[in-house]
Structure 1
Amino acid sequence: MTQEIKESELLKALEIPGKPLVVFLHTPLCGTCKVAHRMLEIAGHLLPEDLVIHEANVNMLPEIVGSYRISSVPALLVAQADRLTPPEVHYAMSSVERVLEYIRRGITP
């Protein structure tokens, strides 16, 4: 399952090392986002139980959109636990396998 995250919380989480960070970026009226969200829900059952996947409406994230140059939705922002490298932003969510690949690559040390 996903948890909604606000921009202030996301900015703070991106600065502090700790757990891997996965954020599904969407807009409310995006049909493709709804399909990608469903794939993410399925993928979530195949990921570690302690991994929290967040979601956020990009219309409410002006600073994040500018800083990470979010160019379209749906998008998946994945930050490694150590925060030593910038988060990766993935746009092509064509399958559950692809979504799993993006997340596993980002959360594995």
Structure 2
Amino acid sequence: MIQITEEILQKDTYLLYIHSPFCGTCHVAREMLDKIESVHQTDVFYEMNASLYPDFMQTNKVESVPCLFIKKEGIVKEKIYVFRSIPNIYQYLLQYAPQLFRQDS
């Protein structure tokens, strides 16, 4: 995962994993996302420590961590708080990051 920066936050499209380092559920969610990145052999998600970005958290009304924050074409599309399983996360990736599933000709 790539650490978030103010520059990246200005982009129109990104998948952002928001966490707290002291959150046990966040560690489980991160393992799921790490496995997805490992399978695809690329960085898919950006990551943000929620306590370092209180203005972002308040402005975007992020209610809790872990959170998969999906922004596409300048619009916040989803804030996922329950990760459930890797297949569940893949349902969001199919919708918001279809380029991960394209095969080169």
In the alignment, the residues of structure 2 paired with residue 47 and residue 102 of structure 1 have an alpha-carbon distance, to the nearest angstrom, of: 15
How many residues align? The count is 99
SS in 2 for 1:55: strand
In the alignment, the residues of structure 1 paired with residue 35 and residue 65 of structure 2 have an alpha-carbon distance, to the nearest angstrom, of: 19
SS in 2 for 1:24: strand
Identity %: 25
Counterpart of 1:27 in structure 2 is 20
SS in 2 for 1:28: coil
Q: 1:11 pairs with 9, 12, 24, which one?
A: 9
Instruction: Point out where structure 2 has 5 or more consecutive residues left out of the alignment.
Output: 100-105
User: TM-score when scaled to structure 1?
Assistant: 0.77
Is 1:54 the counterpart of 2:52? The answer is: no
Q: 1:47 to 1:105 in 2, by over 3 A?
A: farther
Is 1:105 the counterpart of 2:98? The answer is: no
Query: Structure 1 residue 54: deviation in Å?
Result: 0.6
Query: Structure 1 residue 26: deviation in Å?
Result: 0.2
Query: Structure 1 residue 108: deviation in Å?
Result: 3.9
When Rg is computed on C-alpha atoms for both structures, the one with the higher figure is 2
In the alignment, the residues of structure 2 paired with residue 96 and residue 52 of structure 1 have an alpha-carbon distance, to the nearest angstrom, of: 14
Which portions of structure 1, spanning 4 or more consecutive aligned residues, are displaced by more than 6 angstroms? none
Counterpart of 2:102 in structure 1 is none
User: TM-score when scaled to structure 2?
Assistant: 0.79
Instruction: Point out where structure 1 has 5 or more consecutive residues left out of the alignment.
Output: none
Counterpart of 1:75 in structure 2 is 67
- The amino acid across from 2:49 in the alignment is N
Query: Structure 1 residue 5: deviation in Å?
Result: 1.1
Contact 2:69–2:76 under 8 Å retained in 1: no
Bigger RCO of structures 1 and 2 (CA < 8 A, at least 6 apart): 1
